[in-house]
Amino acid sequence: MKNMDSKKPIRNLTDTIHSLLGLKSHLTSAWVKSVCDIIKNLPHERSRTDAGKSKDDKSGTDISKIKEELATLTASINQLSIQRRQILNELLDLKGNIRVFCRIRPITLGENFGRLRPVVALDSSNVHLKLADNKTKSYSFDKVFHPGSSQDEVFSEVEPVIKSVLDGYNACIFAYGQTGTGKTFTMEGTPDSPGIVPRATEALFKQAGDSNHAFIITFSMLEIYLGNLKDLLVPQPTKPTDPLPPCLSIQTDPNGGIEIENIVSIQVNDINQALKLYRLGCRSRSTATTNSNATSSRSHCMIRISITCFDAPERRRETNKIWLVDLGGSERVMKTKAWGRRLDEGKAINLSLSALGDVINALQRKKCHIPYRNSKLTQVLRDSLGEDSKTLMLVHVSPKEEDLCETICSLNFATRVKSVHLGHEESTEIKSQKENEMMNLQQKMEKIEDERLHLRRQIKKLNEKLENLTGTAMEEQLEASHFSTQGSFIDLNMVNKRNENVKPASSFQLPRFMRSTICSRRKSGMDHQTSSGRDRVFSKSRRPLSHRAESVTLPVKNYSGYKSDCSISKSTCMLELNMKTSADNETEYSQDASECDIKMIVCPEKEKSHWTTVSQKGQLGHLYSNGGQRLRKSSSKQLLKVDNWLDLNKNEPPISGYAPRNKQVLAIPLPEKKHGNRGQKTSTYSLATEKIVNQNNMERQFDIFTGGRTVSGVVTDKPPTLKDLLYEESRSSFIIPSHATNDRTLMQSQNLLEGLSMEDDECGSPSLSDISCGGLQEYDDENEVSEMYGMQAVKDLAQCSEGSMLKNSGHQFSPSELDNSIIDSKEDTAVFTPESEEKWHCEEVHSKLGMENSREEDTDASTESPSKGTITTSCRPRSQKKLFMDDRNQELTVTLVKSQGITQRRGSYNILKHKVQLSCATALLGLGLLDLGFDDNFFYGLML
Ligand SMILES: Nc1ncnc2c1ncn2[C@@H]1O[C@H](COP(=O)(O)OP(=O)(O)OP(=O)(O)O)[C@@H](O)[C@H]1O
């Protein structure tokens, strides 16, 4: 009323007064009473509303008050963070961007101490060396850790570097030293006293969690062995039939950023995930027993942790990284008496260490030319060494007298690295001034840290209060509003639920700072919808890997003279597995090939990605089970998620060997045989026993007689474990991962079995399809498959994708349609038919299309009668190949790809034939004819 009145124009005032006076005549006592009654009834209602209103008002005021407070606190904490970053940077600048620490290893039990104590830590920054004839030598470093120093003490000096990584700086922490002086101990540590890697990772997560930004952290691990890069997170081939891992190559962008093509980079959400990956990587490291160390690292082990934060402009870079490097041990060949492989390893390590010394020395001296290109190590670290990065080198020395020479070498190296201090020795006055300044900064830092902590606690309390009032945390509200205004952030959990089928329970345990954004999803390829198109273009723009020279695998078991060619040297390395010399036996497998030549490629700006990606389509596909199939198909350029990776490593493998579940061995038409059967197989294959060993996982164990030997296998519905892929060496058994009904997988497994068990048997030479595909042919595009091999192949491909709906040039198969066309494994029989001549073919007998026929032909009586719920498998040599019959009566042949290690025939004719084939293939590959689009038949024809 009041409001209404106030809004009335002043000119109506007289009218209003008149009307009120007019009303006066109606104010009888009855009227007044009735109005009073009405009013009497109102108070209750009104008071209630008023109470509610006032309560609402109060809580509304409270909320807005809290929100205001929170906003102020957040602003102050941001301000403090900026200050802290500046101070830290100043501090590190004063300390030096390249810092060198020295750690003296303690004498361990049973070690000969020697006559004198040659290395003594004089104080926290000086090492004293006692030489013969009472001579002494002193070395000065940023910090010296005496033999009794704990891992805690070491890490406390390392921690500032980790902080600056959170601030967006690239960093690099090395452990350098003679073999056996404790580099791995410092970096990796033991379960009781963890080293720098676990501590640094933990600190990164903690600091990321404490900050009020969202970070995405990824983990990669590689080693440089004999000058080659090897991804330690990718299973290395242990058998000749295993697919080769993708080549790693170093690329640089116009801004000098370094990216390693094909490196596996996995997003980690917490320290546990990171450590799991670390342990996984450590298992693949090349180690060997040497005179100096029972488990000597024979390579440089490099861990890369990348950090991305999109909404922190105060950070130095949006994406930065830290390298944690356990360098190979420097050694004097004269002393270690290494020979053969050990000698090569020692030489490679020493060369790269010397290159590293040169680079750091040049950086310290601010030379205009920095010799990065002299080794792979320095090329990889190019953007993490230098002015805008933080470098920390921990030089390790032995306390033993007998290691005095090596100790001097190491200390000289460290001094060279630290040359700026040598060249421009500071006066004590400047030194103490610097120290005072550093102390001041340190104190300021501590004060700021305390304030931040205090503010964080306040924010937490207010958030709790706010949550009680509204049910939502202010932080989240602010975040949501911020993100919605930015239009580029969404909750990772939602993404996970939608795209990755991550269990909600686990996904909600993710720390807030790990939530992804639309932007990150796009970059990481998690958003399949948005990325698929681009990926398609990406994959189209590159030739399929199966046609790349790197994938070529030649059966050069006995002829290892091909070292110069990349593709052939790869295969040589595979075969070196089999050609174990006494020295080589000791090194755990590493690729020995010139396959990882550095490519200094200038990426176009639009292709530049902050993300470490897996860009080799298909190469990693064999690692995945069905979930992986989706990953592999959906994007060739995507950030892998640790869950996908580690899910594969959940269980200990019950038995060895794994036939890749997702390898699609599709129908590959063979040329007609031009000559008769030679070298008839003597072995027979028959199923001996079969039993269900694990009801839950539907594991069925069976034995197959082959070549007079019994080989065990398991058919399992269980997804293969990563360990299956990584650590299986026994060659007497294998897993058949089934889609139990998918006999194709059985075929592959059988083929694997052949590869493992048929060493004495004679097999034909490999087809060029084998050669050019590096083992197995994969097709990701169903149209391509359909064109080449017909619709049945597409159906089959779809079946292998577990009934997923596939589009095929207008025709869509529904899951039911596919189901109807698929053999029911419980009733049908899959027959493995090693063809007597050149290749193994597999006959898959379709119930509708010739089951009887097949049974008639079956001369092997060892086939067991099928029992319900089991697969009946009959394996025998046959001379006929057959058949998929598709709707259009097309005959298709399923060809199993031959294992690479069993392709040798005996006899000079065959050796000669192989040589000719190899030369032919080599020449053709050299000429790049494969690149010109000649298909396998062309080469096959040429070679026959
Ligand atoms: N500070 C230390 N405290 C306790 N034990 C240590 C320490 N440093 C090294 N050791 C022990 O010394 C042995 C050799 O150490 P480690 O394997 O780390 O050497 P390394 O320098 O990595 O050798 P390589 O270069 O050959 O790999 C290990 O048994 C390790 O536990």
Span 765-789, pLDDT tens digits? 333 333 233 222 333 344 544 444 4
Tell me whether residue 179 is annotated as binding.
yes
* ipTM for the whole predicted complex goes beyond 0.85: yes
Asked which of 355-359, 590-594, 915-919 is least confident by mean pLDDT, the reply is 590-594
Q: How far is the CA of 124 from the centre of ligand 1 (A)?
A: 21
Q: Up-side HSE of residue 213: CA atoms within 13 Å toward CB?
A: 24
DSSP string, 551-579: G-----TT-----SSHHHHHHHHHHHTTS
Nearest of 476, 471, 462 to residue 72 by alpha carbon: 462
Choosing from 111, 184, 290, 298 the residue with most ligand 1 atoms within 8 A of its CB, the one to mutate for a pocket test is: 184
Tell me whether residue 572 is annotated as binding.
no
> Pairing between strand 829-833 and 872-875?
parallel
Average pLDDT over residues 553-557: 30
The number of the ligand 1 atom at minimal distance from the alpha carbon of 108 is 5
- Contact (CB, 8 A) for 698 and 621: no
Residue 548's SS3 state is: coil
Residue 198: how many other CB atoms lie within 10 Å: 20
Residue listed under structure tokens 């590869």: 755
Residue 165: how many other CB atoms lie within 10 Å: 26
User: Can you list the alpha helix ranges (DSSP code H) found in 487-527?
Assistant: 492-495, 504-507, 518-524
| Domain boundaries, given as residue ranges, for the chain | 30-79+427-476, 80-246+263-426, 649-765+775-905, 906-944
The 10s digit of each residue's pLDDT in 60-98 is 777 888 888 888 888 888 888 788 877 877 777 777 778
784's CB contacts (< 8 A; 6+ apart) are none
pLDDT grade for 204, boundaries at 50, 70 and 90: very high
Tell me whether residue 177 is annotated as binding.
yes
- Contact (CB, 8 A) for 245 and 619: yes
What is the model's pLDDT at position 921? 67
User: Can you list the alpha helix ranges (DSSP code H) found in 231-339?
Assistant: 271-283, 333-336
pLDDT grade for 571, boundaries at 50, 70 and 90: very low
In this structure, what token pair is assigned to residue 396?
């390790």
Asked which of 107-111, 189-193, 653-657 is least confident by mean pLDDT, the reply is 653-657
The better pLDDT of the pair 517, 370 is held by 370
The 10s digit of each residue's pLDDT in 142-186 is 899 999 999 999 999 999 899 889 888 899 999 999 888 999 999
Interatomic CA distance for residues 862 and 873, integer angstroms: 10
Ligand 1 pocket, residues with Cβ under 6 angstroms? 105-106, 108, 177, 179-185, 293, 295-297, 329, 396
Interatomic CA distance for residues 377 and 382, integer angstroms: 9
Q: Which amino acid is at 648?
A: L
Tell me whether residue 880 is annotated as binding.
no
The better pLDDT of the pair 237, 271 is held by 271
What is the model's pLDDT at position 217? 92
What is the model's pLDDT at position 758? 32
CA 327 vs CA 185, 356, 442: distances in Å: 12, 10, 31
The number of the ligand 1 atom at minimal distance from the alpha carbon of 103 is 1
Average pLDDT over residues 574-585: 35
- Contact (CB, 8 A) for 527 and 754: no
- Contact (CB, 8 A) for 184 and 258: no
Q: Which fold has domain 80-246+263-426?
A: Kinesin (3.40.850)
568's CB contacts (< 8 A; 6+ apart) are 552, 554, 556, 562, 922
User: Can you list the alpha helix ranges (DSSP code H) found in 188-230?
Assistant: 196-210
Residue listed under structure tokens 């009855």: 30
Residue 249 backbone phi and psi in degrees, to 5: -140, 150
Q: How far is the CA of 289 from the centre of ligand 1 (A)?
A: 13
What is the model's pLDDT at position 924? 65
Q: Which amino acid is at 63?
A: I
Give the residue whose CA is nearest to atom 9 of ligand 1: 182
Interatomic CA distance for residues 321 and 169, integer angstroms: 7
The partner residues of 694 in beta bridges, in order of sequence, read: 699
Q: How far is the CA of 2 from the centre of ligand 1 (A)?
A: 86
Exposure b/e, 352-380, CB count within 10 A at least 16 = b: bbebbbbbbbbbbeeeeebebebbbbbbb
Say yes or no to pLDDT of 608 above 90. no
What is the model's pLDDT at position 14? 67
pLDDT grade for 46, boundaries at 50, 70 and 90: low
